[in-house]
């Protein structure tokens, strides 16, 4: 087979690996940074979440937010009162925040 074929095949395989890695990264970030308040399932049913009125991440309210609005909410705590995130100010990279946005979108698909 030609080099072009193998180059294309390698490119496609590595793209799938990167996508799987990004999803795993979003899962790990969510588990480490978000699940304590939002719950592992994103439903906001933890004891703290009940007191702080943390929203269900699968809710229409959250899922109707644009990706840039979700990004700003996670990165800078935009529109948060009692529980500001501001993860960008705490050292989280933009690619990590983007992975969390993708993770939040997954909660909407499981509703």
- Any idea where the domains of the chain sit in the sequence? 3-109
Residue 70: predicted pLDDT: 92
> pTM of the predicted model, to two decimals?
0.74
Q: Is 58 in contact with 48 (CB distance < 8 Å)?
A: no
> Mind listing the pLDDT tens digit for each residue in 28-87?
999 999 998 889 999 988 888 778 778 899 999 999 999 999 999 999 887 766 556 788
Q: Name the nearest CA neighbour of 55 among 92, 108, 97, 93.
A: 108
Choose between 7 and 98: higher pLDDT. Answer: 98
| C-alpha span between 74 and 26 (Å, rounded) | 13
Q: How confident is the model at residue 110 (pLDDT cuts 50, 70, 90)?
A: confident
Q: Is 85 in contact with 76 (CB distance < 8 Å)?
A: yes
Tell me the fold of 3-109. Answer: Cytochrome Bc1 Complex; Chain D, domain 2 (1.10.760)
């Amino acid at each position: 087979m030609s080099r072009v074929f193998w180059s294309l095949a390698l490119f496609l395989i590595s793209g799938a690996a990167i996508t799987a890695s990004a999803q795993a990264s979003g899962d790990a970030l969510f588990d480490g940074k978000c699940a304590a308040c939002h719950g592992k399932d994103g439903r906001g049913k933890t004891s703290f979440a009940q007191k702080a009125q943390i929203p269900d991440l699968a809710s229409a309210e959250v899922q109707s937010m644009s990706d840039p609005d979700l990004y700003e909410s996670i990165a800078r705590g935009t529109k948060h009162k009692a529980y500001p995130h501001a993860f960008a100010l705490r050292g989280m990279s933009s690619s990590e925040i983007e992975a969390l946005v993708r993770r939040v979108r997954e909660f909407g698909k499981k509703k």
